């Protein structure tokens, strides 16, 4: 499973990139607005210059024609940009047109197996089931990831499954066990993935023992 970072925070992206475990980045309008930056294009270009892998940037219009127009502009920002398009009828229409133009699409706001299948059939390179938001309304977000992975495997779809709306480290474990190709995680969750109290205790003990030895 690959890990993408789900953020528009440049410092977090730089720090995560140094760990050598991040293959891509996903952003959305909410994440960019959290950074207080309205210069979306500049933010995405900066991220693309730090991370050579896929960087998702979302369209913010609703009609298919407008999505296609905006997506083509976004795709021209950098060679590694992937355009995020919502799983609506307009989004499917835009996705199929963009796929024919070889523009990579990440079908976002995906909440059902049907939406994921339609996204794949329209030619999306990625579909993003939103795990946390389904859990929020009492549904089984990771169950959806599992179903999409199984169905895509069965029909040999090339579309990659991104487990999105990841809220905690246990979601990452479940995404890996569900066979998600990618989990896109907030920086906080990435740091949770690294941590284990026994590692900290072990490091402290080794250092203490080594210190005592060197003082003898």
Active site residues: 84
- Closer to ligand G3P at the Cβ: 1 or 31? 31
The three-point CA angle 134-166-130 to 5° equals 35
Judged by CB under 6 A, which of 61, 80, 88, 133 binds ligand G3P? 133
Rounded Cα gap, residues 85 and 100, in angstroms: 15
Contact 5, 13 (CB under 8 A): yes
Closest approach of ligand G3P to the CB of residue 207, in Å: 37
Alpha helices in the chain (DSSP H): 10-19, 29-34, 40-50, 64-75, 89-100, 113-122, 131-136, 141-154, 169-178, 187-194, 197-215
Site for ligand G3P (CB under 6 A): how many residues?
Answer: 10
Handedness of CA 45, 77, 191, 164 (dihedral sign): positive
Tell me phi and psi for residue 107, to 5 degrees.
Answer: -80, 115
Judged by CB under 6 A, which of 130, 160, 180, 183 binds ligand G3P? 130
Give strand pairing partners of 163.
183
Contact mark string toward ligand G3P, 51..90, x via CB under 6 A: ----------------------------------------
Q: Tell me: does residue 12 bind ligand G3P (CB under 6 A).
A: no
Output DSSP code: residue 82: E
Token couple for 164: 């999105």
Q: Tell me: does residue 111 bind ligand G3P (CB under 6 A).
A: no
Closest approach of ligand G3P to the CB of residue 58, in Å: 10
Contact mark string toward ligand G3P, 147..176, x via CB under 6 A: -----------------xx-----------
Q: Which of residues 25-44 bind ligand G3P (CB under 6 A)?
A: 26, 28, 31
Q: Tell me: does residue 132 bind ligand G3P (CB under 6 A).
A: yes
Q: How far is CA 32 from the centre of its chain?
A: 14
- Closer to ligand G3P at the Cβ: 93 or 135? 135
Structure-token match 């999505």, residue found = 67
Binding site residues, ligand G3P, CB under 6 A: 6, 26, 28, 31, 130, 132-133, 164-165, 184
């Amino acid at each position: 499973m690959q890990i993408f970072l789900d953020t528009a925070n440049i410092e977090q992206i730089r720090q995560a990139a140094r760990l050598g475990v991040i293959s891509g980045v996903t952003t959305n309008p909410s994440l960019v607005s959290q950074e207080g930056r309205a210069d979306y294009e500049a933010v995405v270009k900066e991220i693309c210059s730090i991370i050579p892998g896929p960087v998702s940037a979302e369209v913010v219009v609703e009609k298919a024609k407008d999505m296609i127009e905006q997506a083509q502009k976004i795709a021209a920002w950098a060679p590694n940009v992937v355009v995020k398009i919502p799983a609506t009828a307009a989004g499917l229409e835009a996705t199929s047109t963009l796929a024919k133009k070889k523009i990579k699409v990440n079908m976002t706001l995906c909440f059902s197996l049907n939406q994921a299948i339609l996204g794949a059939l329209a030619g999306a390179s990625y579909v993003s089931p939103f795990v946390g938001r389904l859990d929020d309304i009492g549904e089984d977000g990771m169950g959806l990831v599992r179903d999409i992975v199984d169905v895509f495997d069965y029909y040999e779809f090339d579309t990659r499954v991104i487990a999105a709306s990841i809220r905690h480290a246990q979601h990452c474990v479940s995404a890996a066990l569900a066979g998600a190709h990618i989990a896109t995680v907030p920086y906080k969750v990435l740091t949770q993935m690294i941590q284990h109290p026994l590692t900290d205790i072990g490091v402290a003990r080794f250092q203490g023992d080594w210190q005592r030895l060197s003082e003898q």
